[in-house]
Structure 1
Amino acid sequence: MKILNVYFIKLIVDSIEKIDAKSFTFLIGVFISIIIIVNILNSIISAIILPKVNNKIEFGLKKKIYNIYFNIDDAYEPYKYDLYFFSLKNMGVLPDVTGQIGIMLNSIFSISGLLYIFSLYDFSMVIFVFVGVMISFMAVVIKNKISYNITVKNIPNDRKIDYINRLFYVPDYSKEVRTANGDIFFSYLKRAYDNLIYVYLKKAKEIALLEFFSKALTSLIIVAVLFLLGFKVINGVFTFSAFTMLFTGAQQILSDLNNLFSSFPQIYSLSLKMGKIREFIELGNKNNFTKHDLSKIKEIELKSISYTYDGKKNILKNSNLELNAKDGIVALIGGNGSGKSTAINLILGILKPSSGKVLVNGINIENINLNIYYDKISIVFQEFYVFSFSIYEILSGTSIINDQNENRAIEALKKVGLYEKIMQFERGIHTIISEEFEKQDGGFSRGEMQKLSLARAIYKDGDIFILDEVDSFSDELYKSKLSEIIKELRYKKIIFIVTHNREILSIADKIYQINESEIFLNN
């Protein structure tokens, strides 16, 4: 299209110089027709085809990144979390790369056609433009590399800004945020933004100089081409129509060369980002390489486990704990901050022990495929969160509705005593109880939310049930009902409970206690 634009300008100017109205009208008509056809094709590609392709790419990459993060060892380690955060933030890199490749191919095709036209008149002009653009290109490469380094250095600051955004956005934090001293949030946010701009300003002068040099050189090239071509028209070397075509062509070549050469540093910059994403993906590949799949969790053991927080404070030291179905109900007690949650996170593979081993069926958890491992665990956390899905989706983990899944969900809700309340809602088990996206007819107390979390664990029917202070928001009637639910699972499943409830402790077959960072069996 660009080549036709340049050549049609010459033909139109020729027809004007010859005062040929018929030829002029015909050329304008053809030119308009070509413009309409090309724009229709561009609109179809940009508005229909590309959004579909980009949407599919983004979904696939996001799903892969989430799955890797779920499955990597020691996922909360800062370097790994930084890679995860960077990967999520830069998921648009693949569509950007394909877009830049498209620009490159389009520019190459356009330049090739324009070079042929110039070869018929004055090829030296192309060499002049090419040399100028090459110098400008080097400045752009240096600028993009500096910008990438700034982006990488600012990852911790971006994470802090994202954290404050979530505090104001996530409903679970809303009460704390509203009633706390608001200055702390804005002070934290301001520090993050100040650090962000500080990192940038350290290199701002270099970026500004490179930007100025690149743009000034481009403008000077245009003026120089105009001067040289104008002189040749004055000296009778070119006609005015040839001057118009060549000047327009020179501008187009300059634009295409800039696009082409700027695509290289863009692709280079994008490749650096892709390298970071690839590094994160490799974490997942290494994590799954030769990892064991589990058919059933038979036993879990913490063997001589120690966990040190931040390399200083011992949360757990030289501790042992065994879990299996034949031991019946196993409980863990200890004071606040004693390490109970740490023990659960070690069992889940979320934290990595400083020393010792976590063994699942006698295999080090580091050699276990965590995705498959999690599929076999039913857990209720003390700090539980209910997703903004329907009750059915929360329990079943799927949006596919069938009678078998619905009946299974209903049975789980009956066991925890929520079925009657839920059936009073207009949409029953398909009620969305969160108001994250729309107004709903369901309202649950914290105790009822905890019951729902237990119902989800019952629905999942894992090989092991981990219940962390599962009665902390419940009344005495429910605590008694909870004991009956746990008794039903005894000897059929591995049962591990963190609780201070005497009624539940009274039915425990083994009780471990944490005292002074050490887990020991309380006889």
Structure 2
Amino acid sequence: MRKDPKTEKKRKEKKKENIIKNNLYILGLVWKISPTHVVLTFIMRFLSFVSWTFYTVVFMRYLFGSNEGSRTFEEAVLFIWIVVAVNLFYYFLSNWFTWRYSPRVAIKIHYSLNRMLFEKASSVDISCYENPEFYNEYTKATTEAFNRAMAVQNNIATLFSSLCSSVYVIITMCTITPYAIILVVGPILGNLYFGKKLRKEEYELDKDNIPFRRRYDYINRVVYLRKYSAEMRMTGFFGVLKKMYDTAYDGIIKNISAYARKRYINSTASALLLYPFAFLGMWLLGAYLVMVVKSITLGDYVVLSSAIVSTTWMVFRFTEAMTASFENGMFIENLKTFMHYTPKIDENQKGITLNGAVKTIELKNISFKYDGQEKFALKDINMVLKSGEKVAIVGINGSGKSTLVKLIMRLYDPTEGEILLNGINIKEYNLHEYRMLIGTTFQDFIIFSATVLENVVMGKVENEAQRKKAAEALNESGVFDKIDTLQKGVDTVLTREFDSDGAELSGGEKQKIAVARAFAKASPIIILDEPSSVLDPIAEFNMYETIFKLCDKYDPAKGKISIIISHRLSSAALSDRIFVIDGGELSESGSHKELMIKNGKYADMFKKQAENYLAAVLVGEGHA
């Protein structure tokens, strides 16, 4: 289909406008962090070009220009000494800026930009992390932010400085011969055209390589981390990783080869226009004017020859900075897209505060499907959870149990229906305060490279009361005795990623620490997602005994609703009510006794588990 010329023109104008805005956007971010550094960068870059211009034009014209015969030797020596003194001052200033001032501020800029990105990453929707396109955008934004910020700052300073210096030198050349303008304008326009095309191709190449670089980064992490080492040594999975690495390598090579021809042509055309055309053209023109026309002196020819070298270098820097600005603008678009992303669930959402106890959580006609999916993960769920109840949610893997509790936590919002807390839609509550009502242990829990205390409190430990509460929670989850044997007790760092004296715990001990988090929070709503998945039978029994005792102890002024997700139905049998999720739908609900009498899905699962457990015991006794 043929493109409309007017529409295409507007699109290109809009794109140029966005590139300018993008460069100014990130310069603005750097300005907020360190305006002094921005100002000094412009000053130092300007002085650099002034210095180059002075030596190649002003200095040469003073010594060899058409008026050189009117100056005495003493005047020339004095002029040189003044130049040396000024140059020494500039040299010391430049070294101070480059080696003492700039590195410190660069770290500050890097730190501040990353803090901005971290803050933003913590506020985007959970669903974004399940989207490969988001990961690509986020990867581009985080890996390029600092380098692009510094590049934009330097590029804009270069554009300004090289433009001012180039104009001065070109005017100087034109005072000697007006034909000089022809040999300067051509290379400028040619470099802008070919340089822009080259930068665009480099941007496209980098974008195409991102999925392969992500595989590189993943494999580089996996092969050096302890938690993967045993699996790789006991299986053939290292071969799979090598194949993935080779595939990523081949993909990058293929992309480089695909762009190589165009990049070579544009780069060569740019270089030919800048050097042979400008250099040879000016030297031949100067020689012709001196030797044939005799319209300029030999001194003017020396100045002209020196000036063309200066002009070529400055034109190259100008066009390079200009085309780099196009490239930076395209990369910064990723950063802006990420930073301006508006989450569906605002992490800073204000709202009402719960007054009084948690009485009920009601799910009304809840349906949910993940972004980009056609099939609903949950369909038409209705349930009411009451204060003082211990509720179990059971079902086979992939039935939607974890998705259901994530909706209650408001990590996602329902696609259809609403969730009510004490009769009020949870969207009306202050989000932070609402989530503080919930103590959680996730199925895929994470142990951070921090102290035991920090892993339990899940924040900065600021007082003795927090330490005491964390110790009590560890005791309740059954892992305090183990922690107490560690060299630094609850102040021991977990994992050895940053601390060679860090503790490496077993899977069961880690899960107990994850459960302790929910206990330490002492929230009126407690959600435990597979809290005993890696525990042995005795530890599991003790865990559930403790969990149900804690659930029975609650302050009526605060209320208490306990939700336990478990595939082991022996624990569900101890709950007040059981909800059975099957294929994303609520198939049954009731007490253990009621559901066993009903003889439906729950009874079938319970009997099969009991039979399997009994069979395992009998086989074990037989071997014994």
Q: TM-score, normalised by structure 2?
A: 0.73
Q: Which amino acid aligns with 1:37?
A: F
The answer to whether the 8 A contact 1:65-1:281 is kept is yes
**Equivalent of residue 35 in structure 1, options 79, 84, 87:** 87
Question: In structure 2, which of residues 546, 550, 559 is the aligned counterpart of residue 481 of structure 1?
Answer: 546
User: Take 1:375 and 1:241, find their aligned partners in 2: how far apart are those partners?
Assistant: 81
- The DSSP-based 3-state class of the residue aligned with 2:486 is coil
Residues 26-425 of structure 1 mapped to structure 2, 5 A cutoff: 26-47=78-99, 48-49=101-102, 50-69=105-124, 71=125, 75-92=129-146, 93-181=148-236, 182-220=238-276, 221-234=278-291, 236-284=294-342, 287-288=345-346, 293=351, 295-296=353-354, 300-307=361-368, 311=373, 315-324=377-386, 326-350=387-411, 355-361=415-421, 373-399=434-460, 401-425=462-486
Matched, 1:521 2:575: no
Q: In structure 2, how many angstroms separate the alpha carbons of the residues matched to 1:340 and 1:264?
A: 55
Give deviations 1:221-253, integer Å, cap 9, x for gaps: 122222222333445544454433332322222
Alpha-carbon spacing, 1:196–1:430, altered in 2? closer, same or farther (3 Å): same
- Offset at 1:116? 4.5
Whole-angstrom CA distance in 2 between matches of 1:199 and 1:370: 45
The one-letter amino acid of 1:44's match is W
Q: Contact between 2:363 and 2:420, CA under 8 Å: does it hold in 1?
A: no
Give secondary structure in 1 for the equivalent of 2:53.
helix
Aligned pair in 2 of structure 1 residues 84, 124: CA closer, same or farther (>3 Å)?
same
Shift of the alpha carbon at 1:219?
Answer: 1.6
Do the aligned partners of residues 451 and 73 (structure 1) sit closer, same or farther apart at CA in structure 2, a change above 3 Å counting? same
Deviates more, 1:249-258 or 1:171-180: 171-180
Q: 1:25 to 1:503 in 2, by over 3 A?
A: farther
The CA deviation at 1:11 is 4.2
Q: Alpha-carbon deviation of 1:497? A: 0.9
**Bigger mean CA offset, 287-296 vs 122-131:** 287-296
User: Would the alpha carbon gap of residues 356 and 429 (structure 1) be closer, same or farther in structure 2, given more than 3 Å must change?
Assistant: same
1:307 Cα offset (Å)? 4.8
Give, in whole Å, the separation in 1 of the partners of 2:326 and 2:426.
39
Deviation at 1:311, TM superposition (A): 4.1
Task: Report the residue type matching 2:561 in the other structure.
Answer: I
Match of residue 470, structure 1, among 504, 527, 531: 531
Between 1:205-214 and 1:72-81, the stretch displaced more is 72-81
Please tell me whether residue 442 in structure 1 is matched to residue 503 in structure 2. Answer: yes
Count of residues paired in the alignment: 520
Q: Secondary structure of the residue that 1:344 maps to in structure 2?
A: helix
Offset of residue 211 of structure 1 = 1.1
Q: Which has the larger radius of gyration?
A: 2
Shift of 1:412: 2.9
> Which of the numbers 38, 59, 74 marks the counterpart of 1:8?
59
Asked whether the equivalents of residues 143 and 207 of structure 1 are also in contact (C-alpha less than 8 Å), the reply is: yes
Q: Distance in 1 between matches of 2:400 and 2:343?
A: 31
Per-residue deviation, residues 164-202 of structure 1 (Å, max 9, x unmatched): 333334443333334332222222232233333434433
- Cα distance, 1:247–1:53 mapped onto 2, change above 3 Å: farther
Distance in 2, matches of 1:522 and 1:305, equals 19
Assess, with a 3 A threshold, how the Cα gap between structure 1 residues 198 and 123 changes in structure 2: closer, same or farther: same
1:59 is paired with a residue of what secondary structure? helix
Q: Bigger shift: 26-35 or 136-145? A: 26-35
- Would the aligned equivalents of 2:126 and 2:412 in 1 still touch at CA under 8 Å? no
1:318 maps to amino acid: D
Identify the structure with bigger relative contact order (alpha carbons < 8 Å, sequence gap 6+): 1
Q: How far apart are residue 381 of structure 1 and its match?
A: 1.6
Q: 1:106 to 1:504 in 2, by over 3 A?
A: same
Counterpart contact for 1:464–1:495, Cα < 8 Å: yes
Give, in whole Å, the separation in 1 of the partners of 2:367 and 2:133.
22
Give the deviation of 1:314 after TM superposition.
5.9
Q: Helix, strand or coil: the match of 2:341?
A: helix
CA pair 228-440 structure 1, distance change in 2 beyond 3 A? same
Q: Could you list the per-position Cα deviations for residues 419-458 of structure 1 after superposition, in whole angstroms to 9, with x for gaps in the alignment?
A: 4443443433322111112301523221111121122233
**Take 1:301 and 1:75, find their aligned partners in 2: how far apart are those partners?**
28
Percent of aligned pairs sharing the same letter? 23
Would the alpha carbon gap of residues 280 and 22 (structure 1) be closer, same or farther in structure 2, given more than 3 Å must change?
Answer: same
1:512 and 2:568 matched: no
The Cα shift of 1:363 comes to 6.5
Contact 1:143 1:210 in 2 (8 A): yes
Tell me, in whole angstroms, the C-alpha distance in 1 between the residues paired with 2:132 and 2:362.
Answer: 27
Q: Tell me the CA shift for residue 216 of structure 1.
A: 1.5
TM-score by length of 1: 0.85
The aligned residue for residue 22 of structure 2 is none
Q: How far, CA to CA, are the matches of 1:264 and 1:299 in structure 2?
A: 62
Kindly state the Cα deviation for residue 505 of structure 1 after the two structures are TM-superposed: 3.0
231-240 vs 435-444, which moves further: 231-240
In structure 2, C-alpha distance between the alignment counterparts of 1:72 and 1:403, rounded to whole Å: 34
The equivalent residue for 2:45 is none
Larger displacement relative to structure 2 (36-45 or 441-450)? 36-45
Contact kept, 8 Å, 2:360 with 2:385, in 1: the verdict is yes
Alpha-carbon offset, residue 89 of structure 1: 2.9
The Cα offsets for residues 256-313 of structure 1, whole Å up to 9 and x where unpaired, read as 2232233233222222222232223333366539955353476544443445677466
The CA deviation string for residues 298-334 of structure 1, in whole angstroms up to 9 with x for no partner, is 654444344567746664433334445x152211112
Structure 2, unmatched stretches of 5+, are 1-50, 592-624
Cα 1:59–1:282 shift into 2, 3 Å: closer
RMSD of aligned alpha carbons: 3.6
Which ranges of structure 1 fall in alignment gaps of 5 or more residues?
none
Structure 2 CA distance for aligned equivalents of residues 106 and 177 of structure 1: 56
Is the 2:198–2:266 Cα contact (8 Å) retained in structure 1?
A: yes
Q: Which amino acid aligns with 1:159?
A: R
* TM superposition shift of 1:512: 1.0
Look up the equivalent residue of 1:38 and give its one-letter code: Y
**Worse overlay, 300-309 or 191-200:** 300-309
Tell me by how many angstroms 1:215 deviates: 1.1
- 1:33-66 alpha-carbon deviations (Å, 9 max, x no partner): 3333223333333442441452244223322331
Instruction: Measure, in 2, the Cα distance between the counterparts of 1:45 and 1:5.
Output: 22
